[in-house]
Structure 1
C-alpha cells in the first residue's frame, strides 16, 4: 500500500497524528510505503516523523516541493502547496497511491479501500457538500459527484498513460491560472469519470452534524448518501476528516469534535508536542450553529439560502470572470 502526505512545517505535527493512527490501525498490511511531500519541514519535525514510521518498521520517502512546477498556477491566498498532490504522477512511479490530508485520523483498516479495482478510473473520493454553482463553474453538470480532495485514491498508472498532468495544466490555462474552488475545482473539472467512495472513507465533520437529507437540501444535491450510509460511517469511520464547521479542529482549545478524545490519546501515546491554539469561532459560524440547534430546520434552511446568495455574488466576482 502506497500512502501520500503533503505538508509544510505548520502542519507537520498535525500530520504526525494522522500518520501514527494510519500505521497503528494497518499493521496487517504486508507493505506500506509512505511518500511525503516536504514543503520546508524543519529537521526536528522530520526526525519525529521518521521516528514514528520506524516504530512500525515501515518505509518513508520525502519529496522536496522544490522539484514541483507550479509556475502555471496564479498566486492567490490559497497556498500553491495545496496543488502538490496533483503533480506527482511522474515522480512517484507506483501504479496507485492513497492521498490523505494531514487533518485526519485513521481509525480502521485501509485494506478494502486500497484494494478497490481502479481499472480505467483515474481517481476515487467521497462526495463533498458544495453548491451547484461551484460544480458547474468547473464544467460539471451538477454537484452529485463532486468529491472532496482530503482523501483520494489515485490511479497513477492511468495518469501517466493519459498525460493527466498536461490536462491539468491546460485546465488551469482555461481559467487564467485561477480555478474556482482551488484544487478541488481542478480535480472535479478534469475528471468526469470518478469512483465514489463510501462516506466512511472520508468522514467529514458535516456528517456528524447534519442528517443526510438536510445536507442534500442545503446544497441541492440530487443523488447523495443515504442516512444508513452516514450512520454506518458514524459507527465505523475509517478516516475521520476534521473540517472546521461547528466543532472546530483538534488543535484548537475550543474543539468539540466527537473524536477529540481519541485524537488527544494519539498525541499523548506518540509524544507529539502539538500546541493547542485559541481558534475562536467566527460570528457567522456561531449564528449558523445557534439557528441550526434552536430553530426548525426550515428556518435554518431559509437562512442558508439567503447567505448563499451573498456567497454566490462573492464567488462570481472572484472566479467566473477568469474563464477563457
Structure 2
C-alpha cells in the first residue's frame, strides 16, 4: 500500500510540476483577426503586447486572415521580430461563406465574425486556452497575466460592456445580469468545442437576425449566458469605461472601474470613433498615434497629429 501511495504522490507532484512549467515557460497563443485596412492597427496591438509581456513565455500570434496582402503579412512578421526573439506569428484562413449574410456596419465588417471559428481552428494545437484580442487595442500590461487568469469552470473569461440593459432585454436575458464585450476573451478551447459554441453561435445568428444589433457579440452573449467568468475591467477598458458614460452596476464595479481608469492594462477603442479618425479627446489617443507612427505598415498621410 505504501508503494502505491508513493507512486500516486510522485504522479501528483509531476503533474503539478508540469502545470508550473507551463505557467512559467509554456506557449501563450494570442488570436486576432484582420483585413487589409486594419493591418497597421494590428501591428500596434502586437508591438505593445510584446513590449509589455513576460519574456520567459513564448508568445504565438495567430492572425485570422481576411484578405491581408503579402506586404502587410511581411510587415506584421517584422513587427513580431522587432519586439521579441521569443514570439512568432502564423496566418490562418477561415471559410467565410457562413458569415456573409450576417449584419455588418461601417466599422464592424465580416472580419469580426471570424473569431467565432477560432477554437475549431486551433483544436489540434493542444492548447488548453487561447487569448483573443481585437486589433484596435493598446496593450499596457503583461498579457501573460491575463492569459493565466482562472476561468473557474466557465467557457470564457471576459469583461463587462457597461450600459447594455436594452441589449440584454433584446436578447431575452435578465436585465439585471451583465453583458460582456467580445474584444478581449480568454477561451477554454476544450469547453468551447465540447459545448459546440461555434455551431450554436452561428445557429443563433441565423435564427435571430431581428435581435442582432451588436453583431457576433450579441450572439456570443446569448449563447454563453451564465458561462463566462467576469475579469477585471482593466483588461478591456473600452471607450465608454474611459469616459465613464454609464454608472457601475454595483459598488464592486465602481471600485473596479476606478482601478481600471487609474491604471488600464488594455485600452480598447470601441465604437466608430478611433484615434486614427475622429477620437481626438481620448486620453490615450496621443500615445496610440505615437505607436502607430512607428509601425512599419503606417502609410504616409494616414496619421493626422
8 Å Cα contact 2:156-2:229 kept in structure 1: yes
C-alpha spacing 1:84/1:36, structure 2 compared with 1 (3 Å):
same
Q: How many residues are matched?
A: 269
Residues 143 and 10 (structure 1), Cα distance of their counterparts in 2 relative to 1, 3 Å cut: farther
CA contact (8 A) 2:162 2:241 kept: no
Within 2, Cα distance between the matches of 1:165 and 1:254? 33
RMSD over equivalenced CA pairs, Å: 2.6
Shift of 1:129: 2.4
Verify the 8 A CA contact 1:126 1:199 in the aligned structure 2.
Answer: yes
- Asked if the contact 1:73/1:177 (under 8 Å) is kept, the reply is no
Give matches, 1:144-293, under 5 Å.
144-176=177-209, 179-192=212-225, 193-210=227-244, 215-216=246-247, 222-223=249-250, 226-244=253-271, 248-252=273-277, 255-274=280-299, 275-276=301-302
After superposition, what is the alpha-carbon deviation per residue over 1:233-273, rounded to whole angstroms, capped at 9, x for unaligned? Answer: 1222110011358xx42212662221123213323444442
**Equivalences for 1:47-126 in 2 at 5 Å?**
47-55=74-82, 56-57=84-85, 58-65=87-94, 67-70=95-98, 73-74=101-102, 76-77=104-105, 79-93=109-123, 94-126=127-159
Give the deviation of 1:47 after TM superposition: 0.7
Q: Say which SS state the counterpart of residue 113 (structure 1) adopts.
A: helix
Q: 2:137 & 2:262 partners in 1: Cα distance?
A: 17
Farther-moved stretch of structure 1 (92-101 vs 40-49) = 92-101
Contact map agreement 2:140 2:266 (CA 8 A) in 1: yes
What CA distance in whole angstroms lies between the structure 2 residues aligned with 1:161 and 1:253? 42
Q: Give the gaps of 5 or more residues in structure 1.
A: 279-324
**What does the per-residue CA deviation read over 1:120-169, in whole Å, with 9 as the maximum and x for residues that have no partner?**
31112111124422112222111642001111111111111222222223
Whole-angstrom CA distance in 1 between matches of 2:113 and 2:146 = 23
Change (3 A) 1:226 1:37: same
Distance 1:29 1:83, change over 3 A: farther
Pair 1:39–1:222, CA change in 2 (3 A): same
Distance 1:229 1:161, change over 3 A: same
Q: 1:181 to 1:252 in 2, by over 3 A?
A: closer
Residue 191 of structure 1 and its aligned partner are, at CA, apart by 0.6
Mapped contact 1:127–1:144 kept (Cα < 8 A): no
Deviations 1:35-72 (A, max 9, x none): 0011111111111001011221211110123x345258
Contact 1:136 1:143 in 2 (8 A): no
| Cα 1:79/1:268, change in 2 over 3 Å | closer
**1:322 — aligned with what?**
none
